[in-house]
Every structure is written in structure tokens, then in C-alpha cells.
Amino acid sequence: MPRHLLSIADLNADELAALLKTAERFKKTRYRGSELRGKTIAMIFEKPSLRTRTTLEVATVHLGGYAVYLDAKNVGLGERESVRDIAANLGRWVEGISARVNKHETVSSLAEHAGVPVLNALSDAHHPLQALADLLTLKENLGRLAGVRLAYVGDGNNVLASLLEAAALSGMEVTVSTPVGYEPAGELLDAAGARLVHDPLEAVREADAVYTDVWVSMGQEEESERRLHDFQGYTVTPELMNAAGAGAVFLHCLPAHYGEEVTREVAYGRQSRIFDQAENRLHTAKAVLAHYLGGLAWSG
């Protein structure tokens, strides 16, 4: 049976550590390899992408493989053709599938029927590839993950879900601050031992890292006016970063809506690591491909 990465919860603590160790090695050596030589990855994207598409394609090339990009218009997931039939077809042609989809059920169905490894490149419920890059960035800057105090300020979305799952495996201490009604699932908070508060200032005090994401994600445009109203007071400003402390780093998965969830002063300031995160999307994607499709041992 093929192994899939649909969420961080598909990993155990040792496997998460192995992926990060491999990504660190790949980054340090600017690694080029042959793990995917002769292999082809299908990339199904229902949503636009800069970081995810580019890093997955470049990572595939760096490992000797080839990526085929399939956009929503040409594939028509569940419209032109059923997800099950698309999965069954692709599984006969390629060695792996990455999928950036609207609904998590879609990537789950692909995994059920493809017969080859499926990697979740973003769904409405999870964003595991982003969380891996985030953890690598934190480890590089803070020297560890266990005991790192991460304050997340903003929407309880797919990025936060993956961060909470990662915290449960790595020992990070997460405090979440969202408006009422935008909290992540209680079971995710409980599994991570995370704290939920509604005051951003309280959340960031003594934090090692402050993380935010857009208030209006792709597919939520009709909720824009309500969300912009509800999230007033949750902007990461220089004052909020000062409350965290001079040693805290700022993280954002990008793209950013400057002036909404974060100010330009913070995003481009000395505490920001947002472009380190973006770079690390490449190294962690390469590690995932090498382990899941390239046969690299989980011992690293």
C-alpha cells in the first residue's frame, strides 16, 4: 500500500524529525540527487500558487524527476470527471500525486483510489507542507522545537491546524488568539496542549515566535467584509512584536495582505523570517519527495 501525506498527523514524532533532518542536510549541501530519476509527479492544482507549485516542481527536478502540472480547468475534479476516475487514471501513469484542492475530501479520495503516494499541497483542512517549512525555520532560528513558545494570532484555519498537529509531535508550546467564532477545532487544541485566548497581547507575551496568516483565504471572498470587521485588533504590529520581546521572530506563510493581518513594518522588519520560510518550502518539499517517493530511509 502506498503511503500518503494528507496531514501532519500522518507522521509520528520520529518521522517528523527525520523529514526535518533530511531538509537540513539538503539545504546545507544545496543537494541535487537521483532519488526520483525516471519518476513523474502529477501536480493537480485547483487553487493558484507561487510557493507550493514552484518548490514542488523545482524539488522534483533537483531529485532527477519530472513534474506534470494539471490545472483545475483542464482536469475538472468532480465536474468533467469524477475524482475516483481521475485518481485511477493518474495512478496508471505516474509515481506520485501532489494536490492543492478546495476540499480535503478531494485529496482523501485521490489517496484512496490512486494506488500511488498522494501529497496534500493544501486543502481547506490542512497544509502539511507549509508546517514542515515553518518548523525548519523555527529550528534554524531558535535551535530547538521542544519548548518553543509559538503565538498564533488570527484565523483558526488550515495552516493553524497543521501547526497544532506539528506541535503535538515536536513539543512546541502554542498559544492561539482568534476572535470568538474563528477558533480551531477543540481536539486539535487538546492534542497539542495549546492555550486559547482572545486577547492578542496576552497571547504574544514571552513568545519566541509570532505567526499570522491572511484573514480571508482563497474561497472565502464572499465573507471578506464580515471577516475584516471581526478581525479588527488582530493585526500584528510593531507594538505587538514589542510585547513579545526583542528576541521573537515573526512568521507568515504568504501571500500577505499588508495592513490587515500584519503591517509592512513587521513583515520587512528585523524580526521577520517570512522569506526564510518561503525558501524552506523548497528544502522540506525535497525531503518529503525523497522519503515518500524516492525510497530514502526514514532514519535519514
Query: Active-site residue numbers?
Result: 100, 127, 130, 213, 253, 281
DSSP-derived letter for residue 123 is -
Q: Are 48 and 218 in contact (CB under 8 A)?
A: yes
Return all residues near 251 (Cβ < 8 A) that are at least 6 apart: 134, 137, 138, 209, 210, 211, 212, 273, 274, 277
- Orientation of helix 13-29 relative to helix 274-292, angle to 10°: 110
Beta strand 173-177 with 249-252: parallel, antiparallel or unpaired? unpaired
**Which residues are 43's β-sheet partners?**
69, 98
Rounded to an integer, what distance in angstroms lies between the CA atom of residue 52 and that of residue 187? 27
Rounded to an integer, what distance in angstroms lies between the CA atom of residue 55 and that of residue 137? 16
Percent helix, strand, coil in the chain, to 5, is 45, 15, 35
The residue type found at 104 is H
Q: How many helices (H) and strands (E) does the chain have?
A: 13, 9
Return all residues near 265 (Cβ < 8 A) that are at least 6 apart: 237, 238
